[in-house]
Amino acid sequence: MATPLDDESQDAIARFFALINLGDSAQTAAQLSMFEDALLDAEDDDTEGPELLWVVREVIDWQSGFFVDWKDAQSLIGCLNQLCERMDLELDWGTDDPEDEAFLESTSVPELMELAHNQLRVAGYTLWNWDTGGDAYGGWITRSEDDEEMLDLAEILRFEVRPADQPY
């Protein structure tokens, strides 16, 4: 069982879930509950920084965040399209068919993250990515007006994050 979070970290993680769920209180509450359950099952060292982010990833994957292999452009496109549906936004991937094999082979996950980030910024959102410490990319979307708060929460929680136009 993992070490419980201190009060400041508990408040920060609750606010984090609220930001990435874009005001959806039901989804925020559900994910916070799943997170608390997952934390109870986690190893002792899973309550700090990078380790904590892996617990978060399990809870938010494809609902409020993405996590894809470094070369899996197709999954990134699919997940971001699904995440953008929550905001009634459609990303322009620069092709008529984002599932076309030639297109997928000619692009990369970092290029697509930057493309999506730039379009989301225009719509008032920020696409974030976190340092997975490996050959994968992960992140989430928040309102651009919450950028400073996201950075503050990341500092409290010791998450290595930055806007997705600067992939790790």
pLDDT tens digits, 138-148: 999 999 999 99
In tens, the pLDDT along 13-58 reads 999 999 999 999 999 999 999 999 998 887 666 667 788 999 999 9
For the stretch 72-128, pLDDT in tens is 999 999 999 999 999 999 999 999 999 999 999 999 999 999 999 999 999 999 999
Q: How big, in percent rounded to 5, are the helix, strand and coil portions of the chain?
A: 55, 15, 35
How far is C-alpha 80 from the geometric centre of its chain's CA atoms?
Answer: 10
What is the rounded distance in angstroms from the CA atom of residue 52 to the CA atom of residue 153? 13
* Residue whose tokens read 């976190």: 130
Alpha-carbon span 15 to 85, nearest angstrom: 22
- Starting at the edge strand found earlier in the chain, the sheet holding 136-143 runs 65-69, 136-143, 125-130, 161-163
Q: Phi/psi class of residue 4: alpha, beta or left (left: φ > 0; alpha: ψ in -120 to 50)?
A: beta
